[in-house]
Amino acid sequence: MARMKFVCDAERCIECNGCVTACKNEHEVPWGVNRRRVVTLNDGVPGEKSISVACMHCSDAPCMAVCPVNCFYRTDEGVVLHDKDVCIGCGYCSYACPFGAPQFPSQGTFGVRGKMDKCTFCAGGPEANGSQAEFEKYGRNRLAEGKLPACAEMCSTKALLAGDGDVVADIFRNRVVQRGKGAEVWGWGTAYGSQQAGHPPVKGAK
């Protein structure tokens, strides 16, 4: 089994925010928290590119490295999850993450920062698979239901691909060959340590 990965195809993303909506609806994410968002580069300039960004479930996750209470863990499928019962909401993971994935709900009179919330690759948390407790803290566990992340399955142009790394890489590779351009996979070099077309070599990359 290869590891679960996201690929966002910047040639296809039309900034519709369907992935963001699907995620918020599927997991009933509270106001002020966006587990996924769409970023547009060179907005308004001809040739602008949009990419859908969330937790990339990095191979060597910096959030896991800096967490002072060790609340993160990685599943057999390479999905980086965390335990909200252990999280103290310090925000170190937010500073460490190159994708801005960790989110913090701020509610109450003084806007107290709550426990960290982030994309779970629709894989829930440490509670029993599909339980109400898991849903309330982390949202739906679609992987355990035999489904792929809602953001990718709802993507209208199939710009966002999610699933087994070998499968999504194969789908993307086939597209690039068919259209003859757009081989850059945004974020893969950072998340998975591999050099991508059009990017300078990453020092110490595997």
DSSP code at position 60: T
- From the DSSP assignment, how many helices (H) and strands (E) are in the chain? 7, 8
Q: How far is the CB of 86 from another protein (least distance, A)?
A: 8
Please tell me whether residue 190 binds another protein under the rule CB under 8 A: no
Please name which of 103, 149, 107, 129 lies closest in space to residue 8, comparing C-alpha atoms.
Answer: 149
Q: How far is the CB of 153 from another protein (least distance, A)?
A: 6
Cβ atoms 36, 54 nearer than 8 A: yes
Please tell me whether residue 136 binds another protein under the rule CB under 8 A: no
Please tell me whether residue 106 binds another protein under the rule CB under 8 A: no
Which among 15-23, 147-155, 181-189, 196-204 is the span making contact with another protein, rule CB under 8 A? Answer: 147-155
Q: Which two tokens stand for residue 78?
A: 């390479």
Q: Residue 16 class from Cβ within 10 Å (0-12 exposed, 13-18 middle, 19+ buried)?
A: middle
Instruction: Give the binding site for another protein (CB under 8 A).
Output: 1, 3, 59-60, 64, 70-78, 81, 83, 86, 123-126, 128-131, 141, 143-148, 152-153, 158, 161-164, 167-168, 171, 174-175, 178, 206
